[in-house]
Amino acid sequence: MPRTWQELFVTGEAAAATAPQEEPQERRRGFFRRLRENLSKTRQALGAELQASVFQRLDDETFERLEEMLIYADVGAPATARIVERLETEAAGGTLASGEDLTRRLTELLAEAARTGEATIDLRHDPTVILMVGVNGTGKTTTIGKIAWHLQKELGKSVLLAAGDTFRAAAVEQLEAWAERAGSDIVKAAPGSDPGAVAFDAISAARARGHDVVIIDTAGRLHTQDHLMDELAKVRRVIAKQMPEAPHETLLTIDATTGQNGLRQALLFRETVDVTGIVLTKLDGTAKGGIALAIAQELGVPVKLIGIGEALEDLRPFDPDDFARAIIEV
C-alpha cells in the first residue's frame, strides 16, 4: 500500500531522476518546519498514536462500545454489523483472548476492508489525464491545487490545470488562484462555455507545450441531477475522443463529514464516469470518514488521497493502516 508519493504515483522513472532540486538554505528550513508541523497534523488527524488497547475486556459491553464507535465513524450499520459479527464469532471461537487482541484484530479488519482495487496512480502517459468529479463543496478545486503542487514538488512533473467548472460563480478565478500558488499552467474559457471543450483544449495544449499531467476540474453536482450527470459523461467522452484511454484516472472527492449518502454518491458517479479512486477530504476535522470503508467494501473503489487542511501541503497518500487506527481512536 502506498505511503509515500513515490509509491502512490507510478512514474516509471528512477527515483533519483525525479528528486526535487536543492532548495536555498533559508527556504529549506521553512519547508522542513512546515513538514514537521504537517506530520504532527497528520498524526493528529489520523490518530497514529493509538493507546495500547482501546478495549479492556471481552464482554457484551465491549462489543456494544465497538459498535457505537464504528457507527460514530460513519462506517454505516451494515458494514458495522458485519465486522462486529465476525469479531464476536472469533471471540466465541477462542481466537481472541483479550481486549488487546480485539483491538489488534479490529484494526486489521478495518484496514483490510479499506484495502481494495488498484491503489496507485499511473503517470506513464503522455500526458496523463486526471478528471476530478464530486458533489458541490467537497473539495475538488482545492484538491487539484494540492495535487498539482505535490506532483511538481515531489515528482518533478509539469502540470496543466483545466478550468472545467464553467458554471459556478468565480470557480475559474478560484482555480486560477490555485494554479498560481502551485505554479501550474491553466487553460480556461468564458463562464457558461462547454466544459468538454475546455477539457479538449487542455489536452491539446498539454501536448503542444509538453506538460506531463493534465488535471481537469468540473462543476460540483449532486449525483441525483441526471442532466448534470449526463453532462459529466459527455465531458468524459470528449476526453476519450481526444485521447483514447483517457482519462487515466477519475478521482471522486468525498467529504469526510458525509454520512451514508456518500455510498450513493460513489455508486452513481462510478456508474457515470467510472471513478477509479476516492479523495477523502477534510479529515482535519473530527469526522472520521468511515463512509470510505463502506465505499471500498460495497463498490471496491479505493481511497487514494486524503485532504487534511486548506493549504497546498495538506494532501497525503492514503494509508489503510493509519486510517483503521484513526477510526477506533477515542
Partner 1 sequence: MFEALSERLEAALGDVRSRGKLTEEDVNKAMRAIRLALLEADVNFQVVKRFTADVKERALGAEVLESLNPGQQVVKIVSDELTELMGGAGRDLVFSPKPPTVILMAGLQGSGKTTACGKLARHLREQGKDVALAACDVYRPAAVDQLVKVGAQAGATVYEQGTGRDPVDIAEWALGRARADGRDVLIIDTSGRLHIDEALMEELARIHKRTKPHDVLLVVDAMTGQDAVNVAERFAQVANFDGVILSKLDGDARGGAALSVRAVTGKPILYASTGEKLDAFERFHPDRMAQRILGMGDVLTLIEKAEQQMDERKAAELERKIRKQQFGLDDFLDQLQQLRRMGPLTSILKMIPGLGSQLGSIKVDERELDRIAAIITSMTPEERANPAILNGSRRKRIAQGSGTNVHAVNQLVKQFSEMQKVMRQLSQGKMPSLHQLARGR
Ligand X SMILES: Nc1nc2c(ncn2[C@@H]2O[C@H](COP(=O)(O)OP(=O)(O)O)[C@@H](O)[C@H]2O)c(=O)[nH]1
Which residue sits closest to ligand X, CB atoms considered?
A: 307
Q: How many positions of this chain bind partner 1 (CB under 8 A)?
A: 47
| Total residues found in the chain within this entry | 330
Question: Cis peptide before 2, with omega less than 30 degrees from 0?
Answer: no
CA–CA distance, 124 with 209 (Å, rounded to integer): 17
- 158 binds partner 1, rule: CB under 8 A: no
Amino acid identity, residue 129? V
CA–CA distance, 84 with 72 (Å, rounded to integer): 14
Q: Could you tell me how far CA 95 lies from the centroid of its own chain?
A: 35
Report, in Å, the least distance between residue 250 CB and ligand X: 15
Site string for ligand X, 97-126 (x = CB under 6 A): ------------------------------
Q: How many positions of this chain bind ligand X (CB under 6 A)?
A: 18
Residue 55 vs 322, nearer CB to ligand X: 322
Amino acid identity, residue 11? T
Place of cell 512546515: 34
Candidates 17, 26, 192, 227; binder of partner 1 (CB under 8 A) is 227
- Can you read off the three cell numbers belonging to residue 264? 450513493
Question: Residue 239 — left, alpha, or beta (φ > 0 → left; ψ -120 to 50 → alpha)?
Answer: alpha
- 195 binds partner 1, rule: CB under 8 A: no
- 118 binds partner 1, rule: CB under 8 A: no
Residue 248 vs 316, nearer CB to partner 1: 316
- Do the Cβ atoms of 15 and 290 come closer than 8 Å? no
Binding site for partner 1 (CB under 8 A): 68, 71-74, 76-77, 135-139, 167-171, 173-174, 176-178, 222-227, 230, 255, 257-264, 267, 282, 284-287, 290-291, 310
Binding site for ligand X (CB under 6 A): 134, 136-142, 220, 253, 281-282, 284, 307-310, 314
